[in-house]
């Protein structure tokens, strides 16, 4: 039981959803993410912009600052609900 | 990482902003690094938490980059002629006082072409919320000098630097009688969302100035880098001073920016003042327009 609690503490509290095709690569989300979990990818989207990717998945808190600073409505954060054991 | 702690795909919420926008018009026209989309995000999040009935919210814009907001919001909205967003909003509010009218427009539209309307709506304390995006330049028409361009900044019509005195918009709004005056930048997303929520709940002329980067015209011409560099500048050079004297918050070229909520006071709105005055003058013979509407719509 204690082991499960330890793992829960380390697990991500939230995550982000990225719509890469809407992104214009301004980098606001990467720069202003408080736990600095995002990075610009080396790949391009179809318009030729580098889009963000979630690199430090376990540190994301789902605070949605990325969603608020994104001028293109291409990213948002959410707080994960814990999956019940049976599911 | 234990697998069971990740959420199943079906539980991921949809983008909260999508139901507030006309998604068929996306992608929008704003440049990469422009701050207007950021302010729209904050506005939508403020609307979500304000508890307002969205059928009773109207957005009015003028012309310009920021003027596109009315077209992108999935609310009752109107894209007026240049500078005339406030007179249209005034008419909308007086004809239907139940509406929450938000004017969402740019600095050139509201304070240059529509400057006269701005000061008179503030003087009358018209019950509207004005959100002004200040990118310090006329963005859509090619970067001409605006009344908000700082002294010393270069614009396409002032290639050797601007020498005209700059508007101090919070001071202008306060001296004309606005009851709520605040200034934020596109970097202060949490403060801005809270401030928009307060302004929406405020009765009377509430005014929020938001500084936003214009990477294509203002920053490029003044060699200030791209939108991200401007946002970092806002982060490093903003001082939050709530309740500061609006006389002291003028903007210099690349100087420190004072942000915060400067004015929050009470004053009778135009409709309240009118109803009070005529009730005193004519007594029971006067029927306020709200009552008249009920009779007509019964």
B contacts of A7 (beta carbons < 8 Å): 1-2, 5
Q: Do A22 and B8 touch (CB under 8 A)?
A: no
Chain A, residues 48-67, CB within 8 A of chain B, namely 49, 57-58, 65, 67
Task: Confirm if B227 and B293 have CB atoms less than 8 A apart.
Answer: no
pLDDT in tens, chain B (298 residues): 444 445 555 567 778 888 898 888 888 899 998 999 999 999 999 999 988 888 999 999 999 999 999 999 999 999 999 999 999 999 999 988 889 999 999 999 999 999 999 999 999 999 999 999 999 999 888 889 999 999 989 999 999 989 999 999 999 999 999 999 999 999 999 999 999 999 999 999 999 999 999 999 999 889 888 889 999 999 999 999 998 898 989 888 888 899 999 999 999 999 989 999 999 999 888 888 777 777 777 6
d(Cα B192, Cα B198) in Å, to the nearest integer?
A: 10
Instruction: List the structure tokens of A43.
Output: 């790949």
Domain ranges of chain B: 12-267, 269-298
Residue A84 pLDDT level (bands cut at 50, 70, 90): low
Mean pLDDT of A5-27: 77
Q: In 10 A of CB B223, how many CB atoms?
A: 7
Q: The whole model's pTM is what?
A: 0.88
Which of A26, A45, A48 is most worth mutating to test chain B (most B CB atoms within 10 A of its CB)?
A26
Q: Do A27 and B36 touch (CB under 8 A)?
A: no
A contacts of B228 (beta carbons < 8 Å): 26-28, 31
Q: Do A78 and B27 touch (CB under 8 A)?
A: no
In DSSP notation, B58-90 reads EEEE-SSTGGGHHHHBSSEEEE-STT-HHHHHH
Q: Are strands B257-264 and B180-185 parallel, antiparallel or unpaired?
A: antiparallel
A contacts of B186 (beta carbons < 8 Å): 69
- Find the farthest-apart pair of alpha carbons in chain A and give their distance in angstroms, rounded: 49
Residue A82 pLDDT level (bands cut at 50, 70, 90): low
Q: Is the dihedral of CA B224, B225, B227, B233 positive or negative?
A: negative
Domains of chain A in start order, with CATH, are: 18-79 (3.30.70.20)
* Cβ neighbourhood burial of B289 (10 Å; 0-12, 13-18, 19+): middle
Q: Do A80 and B6 touch (CB under 8 A)?
A: yes
With an 8 Å Cβ cutoff, is A68 touching chain B?
Answer: yes
pLDDT at A83 over 90: no
Which of 3.40.1280.10, 3.60.9.10, 3.40.50.970, 3.40.190.10 is the CATH number of B12-267? Answer: 3.40.50.970
User: Given B11, B16, B27, which is nearest A81 (Cβ)?
Assistant: B11
Which of B1, B14, B15, B73 is most worth mutating to test chain A (most A CB atoms within 10 A of its CB)?
B15
Has the ipTM of the complex gone over 0.85?
no
User: Given B1, B6, B38, which is nearest A69 (Cβ)?
Assistant: B38
Q: What is the rounded radius of gyration, in angstroms, for the C-alpha atoms of chain B? A: 20
């Amino acid at each position: 039981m204690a082991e499960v609690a330890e793992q829960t503490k380390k697990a991500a509290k939230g995550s982000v959803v990225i719509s890469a095709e809407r992104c214009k690569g301004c980098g606001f989300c990467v720069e202003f993410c408080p736990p600095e979990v995002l990075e610009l990818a080396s790949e391009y989207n179809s318009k030729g912009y580098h889009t963000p990717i979630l690199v430090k998945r376990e540190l994301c808190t789902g605070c949605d600052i990325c969603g608020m600073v994104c001028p293109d409505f291409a990213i948002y954060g959410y707080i994960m609900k814990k999956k019940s054991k049976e599911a | 990482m234990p697998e069971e702690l990740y959420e199943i795909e079906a539980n991921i919420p949809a983008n909260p902003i999508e139901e507030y926008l006309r998604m068929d018009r996306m992608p929008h026209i704003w440049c990469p690094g422009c701050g207007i989309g950021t302010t729209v995000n904050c506005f939508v999040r403020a609307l979500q938490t304000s508890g307002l009935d969205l059928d009773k919210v109207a957005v009015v814009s003028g012309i310009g980059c920021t003027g596109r907001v009315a077209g992108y919001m999935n609310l009752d909205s109107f894209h007026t002629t240049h500078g005339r967003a406030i007179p249209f909003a005034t008419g909308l509010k007086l004809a239907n006082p139940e509406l929450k009218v938000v004017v969402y427009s740019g600095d050139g539209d509201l304070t240059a072409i529509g400057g006269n309307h701005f000061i008179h709506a503030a003087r009358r304390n018209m019950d509207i919320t004005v959100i002004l995006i200040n990118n310090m330049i006329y963005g859509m028409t090619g970067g001409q000098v605006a009344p908000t361009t700082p002294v010393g900044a270069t614009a396409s019509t002032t290639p050797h630097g601007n020498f005209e005195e700059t508007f101090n918009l919070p001071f202008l709004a306060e001296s004309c009688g606005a009851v709520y005056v605040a200034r934020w930048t596109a970097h202060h997303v949490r403060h801005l969302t809270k401030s928009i929520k307060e302004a929406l709940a405020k009765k009377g002329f509430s005014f929020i100035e938001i500084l936003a980067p214009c990477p294509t015209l203002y920053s490029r011409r003044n060699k200030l880098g791209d939108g991200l560099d401007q946002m970092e500048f806002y982060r490093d050079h903003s001082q939050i001073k709530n309740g500061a004297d609006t006389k002291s918050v003028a903007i210099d070229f690349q100087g420190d920016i004072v942000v915060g909520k400067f004015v929050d006071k009470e004053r009778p709105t135009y409709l309240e003042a009118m109803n009070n005055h005529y009730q005193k003058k004519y007594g029971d013979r006067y029927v306020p327009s709200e009552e008249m509407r009920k009779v007509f719509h019964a």
